[in-house]
């Protein structure tokens, strides 16, 4: 999978050289390319922002540097890449979104700063990209870079070969609309607190049933919204 990251702070993305995503780049599974938006400016100050048309607080990112940067990416692309624009005004990014994006060959992330990118860029980009304005949650960050890192991590771990043990993807939180069950390791009793006895029984069916019940309880208590949706789909309310 090819991933292009455009930002005025491409250094934010240095963390992607660590851990599993770093390894996947070394292994050639991911081709992550970082781009400095300011390289697509023509003035001495390399200006990327301007005042909002119509008035108001803050600054808005000028459209032209974005168009030039995106054209550059398109020039080296085959097919129609997906352009993700992180914004608190976007549709919420969920595990389903991650699954959808993980199946694509080429993702481009355009991280804005200030009050965001001139809206016309979104419209203009539809010609060459499948454009997806996405939010990682109902709160406001200073810029899109941290949201991009979260999305890149959620997406790329679903790409075959990035995670050593793909079976671990099947049972985790959100994979089937429920939160993950609590997990334990050794010792069996730690600081006076034992692990649930059933986990030591060796009875795989019993363990699976216990874990399912824990998933249901946790989801009901912590995320009643997800629990209601799960019941509506699958039934099986807790006693
Ligand atoms: N930029 C600022 N806040 C954001 C959010 N919640 N999601 C995605 N991009 C953002």
| Tokens matching residue 52 | 């909002």
| pLDDT the model gives residue 239 | 84
| pLDDT the model gives residue 162 | 95
Substitution site in 97, 116, 147, 153 for ligand 1 pocket (most atoms within 8 Å of beta carbon): 147
| pLDDT the model gives residue 88 | 97
| pLDDT the model gives residue 173 | 81
Burial class (CB in 10 A: 0-12, 13-18, 19+), 173: middle
| pLDDT the model gives residue 168 | 77
pTM: predicted TM-score of the whole model, two decimal places: 0.94
Substitution site in 12, 87, 109, 122 for ligand 1 pocket (most atoms within 8 Å of beta carbon): 87
Low-confidence ranges of the chain (pLDDT < 50): none
Q: Give 116 Cα–ligand 1 centroid separation in angstroms.
A: 10
Give the per-residue SS3 of 141-193.
CCCCHHHHHHHHHHHHCCCCCCCCCHHHHCCCCCCCCCCCCCCCCCCCEECCE
Q: What is the spatial distance between Cα 20 and Cα 16, in angstroms, rounded to a whole number? A: 9
| pLDDT the model gives residue 165 | 82
| pLDDT the model gives residue 90 | 97
| pLDDT the model gives residue 139 | 97
> Which residues, judged by CB distance below 6 Å to any ligand atom, belong to the binding site of ligand 1?
86-88, 135-137, 139-141, 144, 147
């Amino acid at each position: 999978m090819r991933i292009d990251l455009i930002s005025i702070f491409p250094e934010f993305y240095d963390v992607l050289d660590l851990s599993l995503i770093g390894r996947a780049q070394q292994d050639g599974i991911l081709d992550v390319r970082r781009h400095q938006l300011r390289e697509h400016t023509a003035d001495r100050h390399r200006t990327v922002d301007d005042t909002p048309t119509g008035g108001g607080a803050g600054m808005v990112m000028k459209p032209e540097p974005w168009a030039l940067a995106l054209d550059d990416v398109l020039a080296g692309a085959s097919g129609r890449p997906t352009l993700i624009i992180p914004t608190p005004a976007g549709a919420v990014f969920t595990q389903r979104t991650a699954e959808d994006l993980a199946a694509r060959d080429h993702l481009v992330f355009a991280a804005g700063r200030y009050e965001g990118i001139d809206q016309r860029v979104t419209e203009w980009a539809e010609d060459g990209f499948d454009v997806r304005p996405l939010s990682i949650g109902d709160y406001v960050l200073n810029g899109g870079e941290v949201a991009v890192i979260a999305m890149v991590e959620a997406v790329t771990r679903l790409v075959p070969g990035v995670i050593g043990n793909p079976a671990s993807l099947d049972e985790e939180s959100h994979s089937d609309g429920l939160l993950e069950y609590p997990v334990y390791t050794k010792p069996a009793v730690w600081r006076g607190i034992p692990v649930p006895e059933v986990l030591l029984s060796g009875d795989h069916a019993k363990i699976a049933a216990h874990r399912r019940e824990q998933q249901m309880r946790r989801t009901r208590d912590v995320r009643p919204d997800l629990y209601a949706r799960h019941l509506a789909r699958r039934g099986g309310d807790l006693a």
